[in-house]
Structure formats: structure tokens, C-alpha cells
Homo-oligomer: A and B are copies of this chain.
Amino acid sequence: MYKKRGLLIVLSGPSGVGKGTVRKELFSQPNTNYEYSVSMTTRSPREGEVDGVDYFFKSREEFEALIEQDKLLEYAEYVGNYYGTPLDYVESTLEAGRDVFLEIEVIGAAQVRKLVPEGLFIFLAPPSLTALEKRLIGRGTETSEVIQSRVNKAREELEMMNLYDYVVENDEVQNACDRINAIVTAEHCRRERVEKRYIQML
């Protein structure tokens, strides 16, 4: 029996770029038609955080048991705490034909890219490219030091974005959300994916 499988969407980017803010805004919109995969962590809940909504809060022992049982799609340790993505939820949601959205760190994204190469990987970037472009296209009144510092920053970003399919500049949260939604819509229209559906059906 032919079944349509969902798309795995991964949002990542340098720390401090605003991934969490963009993700919260995406899921506060009524027309979001993909499912957020809640991450798991061993850190303590902060005030107002709800288990199962913001994170699944686990003990270190529980988390390490899941690592041993291969129950995490990706995980990493930061500042003494584990963070990871439970595999079962991702797998069952994709299998049911619904798209799954992960918002994770770049190390985790690299792990997911290896396991799910057909996923949709979006790099959230600071608006430095546009800023640089304006300076270079613009009136040319900038000092060469300012331009050089921008160029160095752009080179760093260029290296990081290498394993991603898309780069979304976080100039404004709403713009970034609009672009992410457009990317998901477009990706469902990509010939390779449509063709794959055809071929599976025929």
C-alpha cells in the first residue's frame, strides 16, 4: 500500500542568532502545518517551562539509558547538560505523513544530516550578508577596516552553512518565518520529491 511520508525540517544556525525565537513565532501561527519535535534535556526546568511543551525533562540516568538504546536521533552535551531529539516521535510522525520540525544546535544538525540526508536543512543566519552587500553595492563611504571585519564574519558564516540546503537571514523574526514557510511549501513541490511520489505510486 502506497503511503506518503512526511518531511524532516531542521532549523539550526550559530548560537545567539535567534533560532528559539523564530521557532516559537512559527508555532504561534495558526496555519503552521508541521509538527514541532520537543527536545529532551537533563537541565532543570526554568520558571514557566512545562514538561513536554518546552522540553522533556529527564534525569541524567534516563537520558544515558536512551543514548545506549539508540533512542535519540541526535544529542550533544552543553555546559554539563544533555540535549537531544527523541527518535520515536520523529519516526512515527514522519511515517504518518506529517512534517516534523527540529530546532537544534549545529552539532546536532550535522548528526541528523548523516542519518537523514533527504531532510530539509535550514541555516538561520545573522543579517550580515545583506549588511555587507549594502556596503559593497552602496556609496563606498565605509572605511576599509569596517568592510574587512564584515568580510571576515561572512567567511566564517560561509564555512558553517556548507551542509545546509537553505540560508534564511534573521533580519526580522516575521520575515524569517515567512521564508521558512515558503521553503517548506516549495520543497513539497520539488520535482525530485513529486517524482519520487509518482514512482512509488506507479
Contact = CB atoms under 8 A, between A and B. Distances in A.
A187 B168 CA distance: 11
B166 A186 contact: yes
A44 to B, nearest CB: 37
A182 interface: yes
Nearest to A130: B197
A114 interface: no
A194 B167 contact: yes
Interface stretch (A57-65, A71-79, A88-96, A153-161): A153-161
Interface residues on A, range: 35 or more
A190 B183 CA distance: 9
Interface in A141-190: 151, 154-155, 157-158, 161-162, 164-168, 178-179, 181-183, 185-187, 189-190
Interface in A1-30: 1-4
A197 B130 CA distance: 10
A202 interface: yes
B178 A185 contact: yes
B168 A202 contact: no
A161 B167 CA distance: 27
Contacts of A116: none
B189 A167 contact: yes
Nearest to A194: B167
Interface of A: 1-4, 122-123, 129, 132-133, 136-137, 151, 154-155, 157-158, 161-162, 164-168, 178-179, 181-183, 185-187, 189-191, 194-195, 197-199, 201-202
